[in-house]
Structure 1
Amino acid sequence: MSTLTTTSVTTATSPDGTRFGAVRAVRLGLRRVGYETKIYFRAGDTVFFTFLFPVVLLGIFSVAFDGLGNVGTNPDGSGGISQAAYYLPGMIAAGILLSGVQNLGVDIAMERGDGTLKRLAGTPLPVISYFIGKMGQVLVTSLAQVILLMLLARVAFGVALPTEPEKWFTFVWVYFLSIFTAAVLGIAISRLPRSGKSASAVIIPPLLVLQFISGVYLNFALLPEWLQNIASIFPLKWIAQGMRAALLPDSFAAAEAGGTWNLPGVAIALGIWLVVGLVVCRVTFRWIRKDS
C-alpha cells in the first residue's frame, strides 16, 4: 500500500536521476492543476456551495442590512463603512475555508470511496503530483473567488478598497498562509468520513458552525467570551481577523479581542495549524483505506 511516507517521486538513485524525477513529478502535478480545475467547475453543486456561496451571501447581507446604516459610525452620525465593506473580509475568509477545507475534504474522501485513489495507486503518478494538482486547483479557484468578491463589492456596492501598500502586504501574506493551511487541513480531514457518500454530512456541518462562531457572519465581539475562546482554537477565526486587518480601517481594531489586530497572533495560529495539518497528512494519507 502506497503511503505519503513511503511513496517516492523518483525512479533513479543517482543525483541526476533524483533531480529528473522531482522535475517530472512537479510537471505532472502542474498538468493535473488544469485537469482538477476543469473537474471542479463541471460539478454544479461544488461550484455553488464552495465558489459562489460567499459571493451570494455578500450580496444578500449587503442588501438586507443596508437599511441599518453604516457600521462604526461616530456619535454625530459621521464616518463608518457600508455593510458590504464590513462583510467583505468575512466572506473572503469563508471562501478560503470552503475552497480549501470543505472542497478538498469532501473531494478526496469521495475519490477514496469511489475507487479513484485505488486506481491512481496502480499508475506511475507520484503522490506529490496528486497533491500539487489538488492544491493548485484550490489556489486557482480561490483567487478567482477573491477577485469576484472584490469586484462585486467595488462595482455593485461602491466599497472603497484599501490604498495603503501595507494593507495589501497584510492581505497577501494572510491570504497565502490561510489558503495553504486550509488546503492542507482539507487533505487531513478527508480521512474522517467512512465512505464517500457520508463525506458531506461529516465535514460540512462542523465547518458551518465554525463560520457562525468565528466572526464571519456575526460580530465576533458580540459573542460570549467562552464561545470566543472556543473559536480561537480553530484557524477560521484567525483568517477572518487577518482579513479584517487588511481590509477594514484601523479604527475597527478596537472591536477585536485585546483591542488590536494582533497580526503576530494570526501568523502563529495559522502556522501551527499548517504544521499540524502537514504532520497529519504525512502520517495518515494513503491511496486507499486500510479497512477497504
Structure 2
Amino acid sequence: MTAVTAARPAALPGALRLGVARTRYELRSYFRERDAVVFIFAYPVIMLAIFATVFGRDGDQIGEGPDAIGFAQYFLPGMVATGVMLSSFQSLAISIAVERDEGALKRLRATPLPPSAYFLGKVGQVLVGCLLQVALLLAVAALVFDVPMPTTAQAWTTFAWVFGLGAAAGAVCGVAFSSVPRSGRSASAVVTPVVLVLQFISGVFFRFDQLPSWMQSVASLFPLKWMAQGMRSVFLPDEALQIEVSGSWQHGATAAVLLAWLVVGLVVGVRTFRWRRRDDG
C-alpha cells in the first residue's frame, strides 16, 4: 500500500530577505520618478550654491582672522541635514500617500508579503537615497567651493550616527505623516510647507544664533534643528562653538531628540497607518 503525502506549499523567505528584495524594488521605482529624484538630489546643491555665492560674493566670512569660516562651509551642514529630511520624511510621506490613493497598498496587503518587508524596503530605499544624495553634495562642496572635509575618525563617527539617526527618524515620521493627507493629490501641498517651515526656523537658511529666541525654542522641538547642529559639529571647527546658542555641540541632546522622534514616529505610525483610502472602508 502506497502512502500518499500531501504536497506542502513552499515556505516564504524570511522577512529580512524579503525586505532586501523589496528594497531593490523600491529603489527601481524611486529612480524611475526622475523629476522627483532630480529635485530631491539637486535642491541642497542648488541652495548651497546660491547661499555661498550671494553671501560670499565679496569674500565675506563668519568671524575674523584664521578662525574665520566661509559661508559655503557654514551652510553645508544645514544642507546635508535638509537633504536627509527630503530623502526620508518628505519622500516617504508623499510617495506612500500616493500609493494608498492609487490602491497599491490595498493590493499589496492582499499578497503574502509581510508588512515588515514592505517597511524594510522603504527604510532601505531611504538609506541608499540619502547616502547618494549626501555623497553628491559633499563632492560638490569640496570640489567646487573648496569646503574642507573632516579629517578625523571622531568627526566621521559623529557624522555616521547623526546621519543614521536622522535618516531613521525621518523615515518613520514620514511613514506616520503619510496618513495625514486626505489624498495622493494633496500630499505635496500638505507635506512640502511643513518641510519649508522647518528649514527656515532650524538654522538651514540662516545662522541659528541670529534667529528670534522664540523661533529657536520652537525649532528645538523638531529633529531638523538637531540634525543641522550635529552636522555643524562635524564640518565646522571647534572655534565655531562661539556662535552656537548653547556654546556646546550638545551631542547628548541631539541623540536624545532624534531617538525620541524615532520612537514617536514608530508608535504613531503603528497606530495610524492605513492600507486603504479614507473612502474605502
Q: Normalising by structure 1, what TM-score? A: 0.89
Counterpart check, 1:133 vs 2:121: yes
Summarize deviations over 1:81-114 as a string: whole Å, max 9, x none.
Answer: 2222111101000001101110000000000001
Task: Work out the CA distance in 2 between the residues paired with 1:266 and 1:177.
Answer: 10
Gaps of 5+ in 1: 1-11
Counterpart check, 1:36 vs 2:32: no
Among 229, 253, 261, the alignment partner of 1:265 is: 253
Counterpart check, 1:167 vs 2:155: yes
Task: Work out the CA distance in 2 between the residues paired with 1:25 and 1:52.
Answer: 34
Q: CA RMSD of the aligned region, Å?
A: 1.7
The answer for the alignment partner of 1:7 in structure 2 is none
SS of 1:90's partner is helix
The answer for the alignment partner of 1:221 in structure 2 is 209
- How does 1:232-243 map onto structure 2 within 5 Å? 232-243=220-231
SS of 1:125's partner is coil
Task: Work out the CA distance in 1 between the residues paired with 2:180 and 2:274.
Answer: 13
Task: Work out the CA distance in 1 between the residues paired with 2:131 and 2:21.
Answer: 18
Amino acid in the other structure paired with 1:99 = S
Contact conserved, 2:103 with 2:277, CA < 8 A, in 1? Answer: no
Among 139, 156, 181, the alignment partner of 2:144 is: 156
Contact conserved, 1:69 with 1:83, CA < 8 A, in 2? Answer: no
The answer for the alignment partner of 2:174 in structure 1 is 186
Task: Work out the CA distance in 1 between the residues paired with 2:147 and 2:225.
Answer: 23
Among 220, 231, 236, the alignment partner of 2:219 is: 231
The answer for the alignment partner of 2:235 in structure 1 is 247
Quote the sequence identity (%): 50
Q: 1:290: how far off?
A: 5.3
The answer for the alignment partner of 1:91 in structure 2 is 79
SS of 2:246's partner is helix
Counterpart check, 1:27 vs 2:11: no
Q: 1:64: how far off?
A: 2.4
The answer for the alignment partner of 2:47 in structure 1 is 57
Mean Cα deviation higher: 257-266 or 65-74? 65-74
Summarize deviations over 1:154-181 as a string: whole Å, max 9, x none.
Answer: 1111111111221111111111011000
SS of 2:112's partner is coil
Mean Cα deviation higher: 44-53 or 251-260? 44-53
SS of 1:257's partner is coil
Amino acid in the other structure paired with 1:219 = R
Amino acid in the other structure paired with 2:57 = G
Among 35, 56, 60, the alignment partner of 1:45 is: 35
The answer for the alignment partner of 1:73 in structure 2 is 63
Counterpart check, 1:283 vs 2:260: no
Contact conserved, 1:70 with 1:80, CA < 8 A, in 2? Answer: no
SS of 1:188's partner is helix
Summarize deviations over 1:217-257 as a string: whole Å, max 9, x none.
Answer: 11111111011111111111011010001111111122122
Q: Normalising by structure 2, what TM-score? A: 0.92
Contact conserved, 2:166 with 2:258, CA < 8 A, in 1? Answer: yes
Provide closer, same or farther for how the CA distance between residues 198 and 73 of structure 1 changes in structure 2, counting only shifts above 3 A. Answer: same
Q: 1:63: how far off?
A: 2.2
Task: Work out the CA distance in 2 between the residues paired with 1:235 and 1:49.
Answer: 22
Task: Work out the CA distance in 2 between the residues paired with 1:61 and 1:48.
Answer: 20
Counterpart check, 1:195 vs 2:195: no
Count of equivalent residues: 272
Provide closer, same or farther for how the CA distance between residues 242 and 211 of structure 1 changes in structure 2, counting only shifts above 3 A. Answer: same
Task: Work out the CA distance in 2 between the residues paired with 1:279 and 1:229.
Answer: 25
